[in-house]
Homo-oligomer: A and B are copies of this chain.
């Protein structure tokens, strides 16, 4: 990137283009670069890395506020991953210098990375060779304080642009639910080994058919001090570098011992 040029920043999320979390992130990114927003027109939480292949996508230019990005926002009928693909292929004037996704309403630490539309959007950008970061706040409330970690969010984005992350590297950033003055700093971590212990609330519809609501309890199985869960519990912003090569490389030699 030419150092005199402002970075081109693609902003997306999974809670929808009008969610307070993305509006705060757009605001923060406007201070760093030229912001383009391509985000879902409705909530897409829990969509993981879903893409729309068997139906059509709509994508419309809309104007939501008077910020510097006011003429560079598009609402898309698809998933977060669709938004990134469409942005890169059809909308942006050039490949962005960075893609930021969020700020998600709720944590995407540990195993949540795998269910998260916020993180999948970032991963998709990573697959396309674009530095990418997903931001999430451990607070589901629509009136959550998304600005408490503004300084840390901007620092991470600026460093990611300056340090030129290796291709395919994505950052999963989680922010503890704390007032600004109680956030202790930033910690680089690994993904904690945790699991959701699900239960399903079974009900009957008016015609007598059973239906189910997913509920669940989060269980951290990992006592390591180097995990994102631990950093968050200690009041730090956690940063986990993630990759999309899912190969368990160490197990290939074991497989070669099998009778296959």
Contacts and interface: CB of A to CB of B under 8 A. Distances in A.
Contacts of A209: 58, 60
Interface string A138-174: 0000000000000010011001000100101100100
Contacts of A255: 188, 239, 241
A54 B255 CA distance: 40
Given A195-B128, A260-B159, A58 B115 contact: no
B49 A114 contact: yes
Given A47-B48, A47-B50, A120-B48, A248 B169 contact: yes
Interface string A197-218: 0111011000001111110000
A189 interface: yes
A100 B246 CA distance: 18
A193 B245 contact: yes
Given A54-B45, A159-B258, A86 B212 contact: yes
Most buried by B among A46, A255, A256: A255
Contacts of A62: none
Contacts of A251: 166, 169, 241, 243
- By secondary structure, the A interface counts as mixed
B260 A156 contact: yes
Given A48-B50, A81-B48, A59 B247 contact: no
Copies in the complex: 2
A139 to B, nearest CB: 17
Most buried by B among A53, A120, A152, A213: A53
B49 A45 contact: no
B51 A115 contact: yes
Contacts of A259: 155, 159
A259 B248 CA distance: 31
A163 B256 CA distance: 12
A82 interface: yes
A9 interface: no
